[in-house]
Structures are given as structure tokens and as C-alpha cells.
Amino acid sequence: MKKIKSNQRMADNAILLIWIAVGLLSLQFIGILTLVIDGNLHGWYYIVLRAIHYAAPIIAFVAFLMWFSRACYNLHQKVNDFRYSELYAVGSWFIPIANLWKPYMVMKNLFVETNKLLKKNNVPEQANFSKKLFTGWWLSFIMMNILIVLIAICLLIAIVHQYALRYPYPKAYEQLLLLQYCFILVAIICFILWAIFTAKIIQNYSEVEPLLAEIREDNQF
């Protein structure tokens, strides 16, 4: 069996980048809300806000996946029958339809199998697995993705209206922009909730993950 790899730095980096993303998206939320209230749906800083909207969550999500992959790798070194490899842990997020539940199952099993291993080896500490935390984490992720699809639909309609139809219905176009902004605002809220839950999950698991290194091979499954 291979030795586990340190995952604390990845955990710290993921949590830091998640909170940076939360801060930037909070500023974006305020900026977009200001645009909506003022009725200035064509503000020049709209492009800057959209850049933040896409860049910050993506960077934070990549950092989370790096931590998630390493956590699954480490557990796999200690539990032979742990079903999920580090590649599967990452790939499950990008498989259409399956990504509606597979990542949740991987994360749940990560905690459950880790606690079983620690208990078997008489380690008193346990990873804090909260059903409410995990449910909120996953529901916010599902809602965020639904809203992203709605935002993409609005964007596609707006592009067709702007470049193909040449603004035949200006009032409808303005209403479409307003609807898109509203979807973006709710999506930001969902991401912030998901990010807070994710940071808490990483923190909970990181408290016990170093204990895996202390388990000797002859005590493993």
C-alpha cells in the first residue's frame, strides 16, 4: 500500500480561494443589484462583473476538485474496497445527468468510509458528517446549475434578438436582460451558499484526514 499524500495545503488553498470567490461575488451581487435598481442594464462595467462571475467560481471550484481528488486518493490507499478513485471523484462532476447525484455519493462515502476506518482502528476522532450540511451543500449546487442553464438560455435569446433580428422588440429585449440579471443574482446567492457549505465540509474532513497516516498497514481492511 502506498503512503498517503499530505492534503492540508490543498485544503487551505481551497478554503482560501472559496472565500475570495465569495467576497468577489458579493461585490458583483451589489454591482448587478445597483444596475437593476438604476435601470442601467447596459453599464460599461457589466463586462467586468461578468468576468468576475465566471473566473472566481471556476478557480475556487478547481481548487476544491484538487482537494477532493487528493482526499479520495488518500482514503483509497487505506481502504482497498473504497469504490471511488481520484479520477472518478473529479470526473463524476462532468458526466451529464450522473453529476446530479454521483459527486454527492462520492463525498458521502468519503466521510462514511473514513469514519469506519478510524473506528475500526480505535481512533476516537470522527469526521463530522452532518446530513443537514450535506443536503444544503448539494441542493445549492443543483439550484445553481439550473440557474446557469436559464442564464444561458436568456443569453442565447438575447444574442439572436440582437444580431439576427436587429432589435424588433426593444421592450421585450430589456425585459429579457432584466430577467437574466435576476437569474444571475439568485445564482450568486446559490454559489455563496454552496461555497460556505463546501468550506465547512473541507474543514471537517481536514481535521481527521491526517490521522489516516497513523494507521498501520496490518490494521487496514
Per-residue pLDDT, 106: 95
Q: Report whether 219 contacts 82 (CB < 8 A).
A: no
Distance between CA atoms of residues 94 and 194, nearest Å: 17
Per-residue pLDDT, 144: 93
Per-residue pLDDT, 174: 78
Per-residue pLDDT, 18: 96
* Residue recorded with cell 471511488: 84
Per-residue pLDDT, 81: 82
Positions of the chain with pLDDT under 70 = 1-2, 39-53, 162-170, 216-221
Per-residue pLDDT, 165: 59
Which phi-psi region, left, alpha or beta, contains residue 125 (left: φ > 0; alpha: ψ -120 to 50)? beta
Per-residue pLDDT, 135: 94
